[in-house]
Every structure is written in C-alpha cells, then in structure tokens.
C-alpha cells in the first residue's frame, strides 16, 4: 500500500475518478485519508489542471488516498508517466500533512516550462474552478 495526493481529474466525481479507475481494473478501492493541500501554482490546461510545486505558491487543494500498489501503474498510465520518458506529468514523492500527520505521498506535478502562457487557477482548487467556468 502507498499514498497518493490527487488534485485534478483523479478527484472523486471527476473524469478520471481514482475509485472508478480502480474498479475498472478490478483493483481494491482506494481509502480516502483526507483532504490536504500542497503549496504550488495550479494551471488550467483546459480539460485538466497541472500543478507546479512551489513553496511560495498557494495551497493547492486535493485528496490523499491510500492505494493498492497495483493502482500506481493505472495512475501512471492515466497521467502518461513512463520510465525513461519525459512527459508532461512527473511522478514524484513528497510529504503532505493530513489532519496534522505527515504522510508520504506520490503526486503528479508538471514542470514550470509546461505552463508558460497558461492561466493560473488562483484559488488552487481545480474542482471549484472547473465548476465555475
């Protein structure tokens, strides 16, 4: 088991809902550990967001799930993260505080170069931003 922080289309009710992704692949459902935030800058790629981790940024809202190890490969496929390939998203490990407890998590940020010219989502919340468009 490991943990993942999801901030965009992998959140509950979104197009790539993490629980639905697990069900499609007959993998144990993820367990929601809580809502959390990562400091950074969130950008609008139109149908999905991209997070640039930045300690001076705003709190980017997301959810932390405990997931079966098998689900990591599914998430990597959704985010198009492949070994040895420089794609848009990068799998990375960080520590995030969830209800006052430090939790090691996998996240899928993008590089600063990928967001040049894109609109920043000032609220740091993809779901609220998408609904408000």
Q: Supply the CATH number for residue 47's domain.
A: 3.10.490.10
How many domains would you assign to the chain? Answer: 1
Q: Is 53 part of a structural domain of the chain?
A: yes
Give the span between the Cα atoms of 12 and 15, in whole angstroms: 9
Per annotation, catalytic residue among 14, 66, 70, 79: 79
Pairing type for strands 58-67 and 2-6 reads antiparallel
Give the domain extent around 122.
2-128
Residue-wise pLDDT tens for the chain (133 aa)? 999 999 999 999 999 999 999 999 999 999 999 999 999 999 999 999 999 999 999 999 999 999 999 999 999 999 988 877 778 888 899 999 999 999 999 999 998 999 999 999 999 999 999 988 8
pLDDT value for 19: 97
What confidence score (pLDDT) does residue 121 get? 97
Query: What is the value of pTM for the model shown?
Result: 0.93
Q: Counting every residue, how long is the chain?
A: 133
The answer to whether 79 is a known catalytic residue is yes
């Amino acid at each position: 088991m490991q943990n993942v922080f999801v901030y965009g289309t992998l959140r509950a009710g979104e197009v790539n809902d993490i629980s639905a992704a697990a069900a499609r692949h007959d993998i144990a459902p993820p367990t929601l550990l809580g809502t959390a935030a990562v400091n950074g800058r969130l950008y609008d790629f139109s149908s999905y967001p991209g997070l640039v981790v930045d300690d001076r940024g705003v709190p980017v809202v997301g959810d932390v799930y405990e997931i079966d190890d098998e689900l990591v490969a599914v998430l990597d496929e959704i985010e198009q993260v492949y070994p040895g390939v420089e794609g848009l998203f990068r799998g990375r490990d960080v520590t995030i505080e969830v209800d006052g407890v430090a939790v090691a998590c996998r996240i899928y940020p993008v590089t600063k170069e990928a967001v040049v010219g894109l609109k920043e989502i000032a609220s740091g919340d993809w779901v609220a931003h998408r609904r408000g468009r």
